[in-house]
Structures are given as C-alpha cells and as structure tokens.
Structure 1
C-alpha cells in the first residue's frame, strides 16, 4: 500500500519528534547543565537543545566561558542575564574562522539554529554560527538583528569577546564575517571591532531603525519593552555609525539584489554615501529575482570560497567592483 504525500510528511514529522525526544533524554543525562535554566530565565520559547550530534556544553555565566582554558567544538550555551547565547563551533585544521549570523526566521522555526553548515561544507574553515538570543523572548519575534535586548544591551560587545576567545583558542589567523539581510547587519556591527577580518554580506540592513516600521516596532516592543531610546542609547542601532567611529575597518564585499529597491534606497545608498570613500568596499549588484531575494547558493558559495582563499581575481569574475572605481 502506497502512502500519500501528506501521510508520508506526517510519518516523517512523528519520526523526527521521536528522535528529538530520545536525543533530549540522552542529553539530559549526559549534560544536565543544558536544561538547568537560571532563576532569572527569560525564556518564552521552546528550546530544542539535546538534538545535535555533537558535544554540548552549558556555561552558567559569560565570564565562565571567557575564562575557560579550552574551547571544544560543538554546541555551546552561554547564559547571560536570563537568556542563552547559543552557538556552534565546528573546527578544522584551517586557520580561517568563518563567523555566521542568521537573518529573519519563520515564526515556528525551531531554536537554536546554526546557519552556514551547507555553504561552508568542504571549505577549509572553522565555523562559528550564532543563534540570536533575543528570539527566545517570544515566539512572535522573527528578527532581532543580534543587536541585543533590555536584558542584554551589551550583546554585540559580548559577541565580540566570544569571537575573539574562540579565534585565539583555535589559533585562527583570519576571520570572515558572513551574513545575509539581518545577519548582514550583525556582520557589519562586528566588522567595527574586527578591522583584521573580511566581511561578506548580502541585501543587508545597515540601520535597524530604517527597516520596515512594523518589524522594527515589534522588535522594540518585545526586546526593549517599547523603549526606543534605550535601544538607541545601547549604541548598536546603526552599523554606519559603528563603522564611522572605528579607527580602522575591514574590507567589505557587499552583494545586493538590483530589484530590492527598499534595501537599496534605505540601506545600501546611505551606507555607500557615508562610508564608500573610506572603506575598502566592493559591490556586486545583480538581478536574482523580484525584491528581497538572496543570491543563488552557487554565487554565495563561489564568493565565500574566493574570500576564504583570498582570490581577488575570482571575486572580479563574479562581478564585484571596487566602489572607488564606480
């Protein structure tokens, strides 16, 4: 008897749930700290820890992680003011650390999520991928730009410390910051702290407050209790301002869909007008579809590979043009 498509999907869903339940039980036994929420826990969303086929480690405080002697690969959860900063480290023998930030997620997306594994597969890099802890505040929040919240107003600063700690631990000589859309914003914020890095972004927001008003307001309401001024005062609302204030900045490779008029007008144009003459900035604009559409995976992969191996000719062949020559 042949099962219908819907029944097959239901069966796969049930199988996945069973596997997660078993993995969760095993993880609870092996690493009970992952499931020990602090008294100040602000979690308001299910957290699917225990399902990853790697070593997992929970850290009760940020200092406990930062003062540790050795960082093993796998999933780490650093508790900071009631929310976990979840990230995954996959190590290789290479001396390049690829740091990946995700953008907007579906409302029903399972957290934590660690992006970039497929794109990085086969590349000579170690990969560090972050889940935005602000999304744990509500299942109704799909995007928070890794920019912090009222409980973690220092999140980007602490993220910088985590990246530096891991880079030293694995003896990385080079860092690549990578993200699309909201993840591109997070990469640009970190770029201000890592002038030695390289940045590869696509369709990025460059100022949170210039994104769609309804999304911005939802973020402010949920993550900052509606306090817009507190978010601005934290100092991480504008990547343009952070980079402008930096003593030195890294090369930025900026990919932009040519039909995404909203992002070109509100984010790309102000970015290049303010920073184009000062940054080592290379642009790739092309038509990948109508609106806020990411580059094809083949283009993303080729660009990432060229950045990892420092192949400027490959970047030129892909269409990246130095801004100063436009």
Structure 2
C-alpha cells in the first residue's frame, strides 16, 4: 500500500472498533458483521464502512457530500450521519468514498469509482451483503448533493429500499466544472472538457447520469431546496420530466406509488441541504412499516416545526469594509437580528440589524476567510426544547451563515 495513502488515514479519530478485511472477497465471505468500522483493502485503496448495529430490522445508509476543504489536516475516512444516531433506533451505516484516496485535492468523487476501481458495481454488492447478513428489511439511503447522487444510484441494488436524496446531482456533467475536472483527471486521466467525457475513448466509464431506466420502481423521496436555483433547474426539474411528472407548487407531492418529492423554500438560499432537524425525523419515519404511507400528513407538520425563518445571509467586502444583509421569510414577524462576523470560524464582532436592511461591521480586514452568521430568537418548538429553555434558561435560535468571503493579503 502506498505510503502517501496511509498518511491520508486516521481510523483512531473515530474511537470505534476496527475490523480489517484483506479484500472485497474476504468481506463478502463474512457470515455476520460486527459493530464498528469495517476497513476493506480495495483496489489498492480502502473501502470503509462505519456500522452501528441496533436491534431494529431497518437501516439508514449515509453517503457524504463534497468536503468543504482538503488539506493535510483532514484525515480519511469521512463518515456522515453521526447526528442521526440520537434520532432513530435503526441501524446506521456510514460509507466513506474510496475515490477520495485517489488524490489529495479531490473533495468529491460521487462514489463513482475510477479506472481499475469498479465501485459502482462493487459497492452495490457490499451493501446487499450487509442487508442479507444483518437481516435488514428496510434500507433508507440518504445523501445530500454528491451524496444524493450515490443514494439514488445504489438504492436499486437493494431490497425494499428508499432513496432520500437532497439537492442531488442527477447529471454529473451538468455540475461544477472545477470539482468534476479534478475528479475526472485523478480517476480516469481525462483532461478534456467535462461535458465531452461521455464520448471520450475510454475502456470503461461510470454512470454519470441517472434516469428512469436505472431507477425503475425504486421508491424515492426527493428533497429539493426551491432556493437552490441551479439544482432546481438543472437536476430536479429534468429528473421529474424524465419520469413524466408535471409538478405543482405544493410542499410535498405524491407522484406515484414510488415517487414523492418535497420542495421547500424554507431551507435558505443557495445549495443548502434541509436541516438535520427535518431530515433525521423524516428518515426515522421511513424506517417504520407505515412510514411511506404517512408522509403526506407527517411532512407538513415536521416542516412547520423545523423551517428556518432566515432565508438569506449575504456578506460582501469592499474598500469600506464588510457589509451584511439578512432577509427573513414573509411569514415571519419582523424583528431585530443578531449577526456575527466570523474570521476562520471565530466570531470577532456582532451587530444588530433589521430584516432586509444593510449593516456594516467596523472590524478591519486581514487576509483570511470570513463569513457572517445571523440568528433570530424563536420560541421553543418542542417539549424537549421548552424543558431545556426552562432548566438552563437557554434561548432558542435559528441560525444561518453566509457564503465565505475570501480576503487576500494586500
């Protein structure tokens, strides 16, 4: 195994039992799977699974979205979904993408494999094996953005599965040229225009566009942020069109016995996923025997309880300093907002502004990454929050950050 690959890894950071498998065949020959991390030596790299076993006959599978950054301090494997453990009694399986080992600069590989790494067929076998040896009856696959592509792609390999993608890419070639180019170069040595990849003379290429022929009758609960214009227009709407679906404007629409879509304008502007307070109860609901049938009554109530009234937080920088603006939902009563200016994740200044009105920070800028975080106070939404607020005198807030503003050295 290459030394540079080993320097990318740190299994100990997860503080979990580690079960090592010498090969994919070795893993597939197991008659049961113990709780902990399963590290499979795979195609010169590693395929790693983080398994939390519960008594439930249902399982949640999590695929990761793009990494926010990639440097020597970030160690693989990366597992998403830990916050779901408190929200469900189902087993949880988190999957690291072995494609991240291909190059130290890759932030997203879509669980799509590489030349000499046929992951799209092999990972389907791995997940099917886990379902069989653990006697899982219901498999719920979740991922946001690039992880949403994986959730959709792998669900058809499983029995009684439901894919729950959030703002997924449906056609990878219609996504970020920057992220896609890095992946295609590292995985296939391809350096041409990403849009032309589908016609490149390669001996093998992965599925890069999902369609009805692949998904068939797989049950899907498609989550889409209505304020993510790019994914709404390039992925969500063409996906529905491929299935012959003409969607209205309701929050949740049941299109068939295997297609449900949830489209919300309450998750913030841009490529923002649904909040965990919405996603994890939804996933747990789907682990129940009647979870699918109860979605039309369950989702609107959950959405009302978890919708963030903050719609947009924008931070800009010019010669006069940092400027911020926050907008709230039309249904939210106007009020004073507290906004913090963060440098490298540390709050350095706060100010109060009103909905839709501009504000300016007084802090002087030095080179670094800055963002603004807005928060609006709200009443507790549940009895747990009410108890927490009462016992700890804790205020409840909805929060949202702006996109990062990079200030370069003068």
Q: Same fold (TM over 0.5)?
A: yes
Mean CA deviation greater in 91-100 or 231-240: 231-240
SS at match of 2:230: helix
For structure 1, the 5+ residue unaligned runs are 1-36, 321-326
Counterparts of 1:1-326 in structure 2, within 5 Å, are: 37=1, 43=5, 46-105=8-67, 106-108=69-71, 109-152=74-117, 154-194=118-158, 196-226=160-190, 228=197, 229=200, 233-240=204-211, 243-245=212-214, 248-277=216-245, 280-287=258-265, 288-309=267-288, 310=291, 311-312=294-295, 313-318=297-302
Contact 1:43 1:82 in 2 (8 A): no
Distance in 1 (alpha carbons) for counterparts of 2:283 and 2:203: 32
Cα deviation, residue 271, structure 1 = 0.6
After superposition, the Cα gap between the structure-2 partners of 1:274 and 1:319, relative to the gap in structure 1 and judged at 3 Å, is farther
SS at match of 1:172: coil
Distance in 2 (alpha carbons) for counterparts of 1:91 and 1:223: 33
More helix by share: 1
| CA offset digits 1:2-61 (Å, max 9, x no partner) | xxxxxxxxxxxxxxxxxxxxxxxxxxxxxxxxxxx3x7x882751012333222011111
RMSD between superposed Cα atoms in Å: 2.3
| CA offset digits 1:256-288 (Å, max 9, x no partner) | 111111111111111111025486221111121
After superposition, the Cα gap between the structure-2 partners of 1:230 and 1:293, relative to the gap in structure 1 and judged at 3 Å, is farther
Mean CA deviation greater in 85-94 or 296-305: 296-305
After superposition, the Cα gap between the structure-2 partners of 1:101 and 1:166, relative to the gap in structure 1 and judged at 3 Å, is same
After superposition, the Cα gap between the structure-2 partners of 1:263 and 1:231, relative to the gap in structure 1 and judged at 3 Å, is farther
Contact 1:134 1:144 in 2 (8 A): yes
TM-score calculated relative to the size of structure 2: 0.63
| CA offset digits 1:80-114 (Å, max 9, x no partner) | 21010011111000000111100101213321111
Cα deviation, residue 218, structure 1 = 1.1
Distance in 2 (alpha carbons) for counterparts of 1:290 and 1:245: 31
Distance in 1 (alpha carbons) for counterparts of 2:79 and 2:122: 18
| CA offset digits 1:157-194 (Å, max 9, x no partner) | 11111111111111111111111110000011012323
More strand by share: 2
Contact 2:59 2:287 in 1 (8 A): no
After superposition, the Cα gap between the structure-2 partners of 1:215 and 1:94, relative to the gap in structure 1 and judged at 3 Å, is same
After superposition, the Cα gap between the structure-2 partners of 1:134 and 1:59, relative to the gap in structure 1 and judged at 3 Å, is same
Aligned to 2:335: none
Aligned to 1:323: none
Higher relative contact order at CA 8 Å, sep ≥6: structure 1 or structure 2?
A: 1
Contact 2:228 2:271 in 1 (8 A): yes
Aligned pair count reads 278
| CA offset digits 1:189-243 (Å, max 9, x no partner) | 0123236211111111111111111211111011211173377943421122xx4
Contact 1:145 1:182 in 2 (8 A): yes
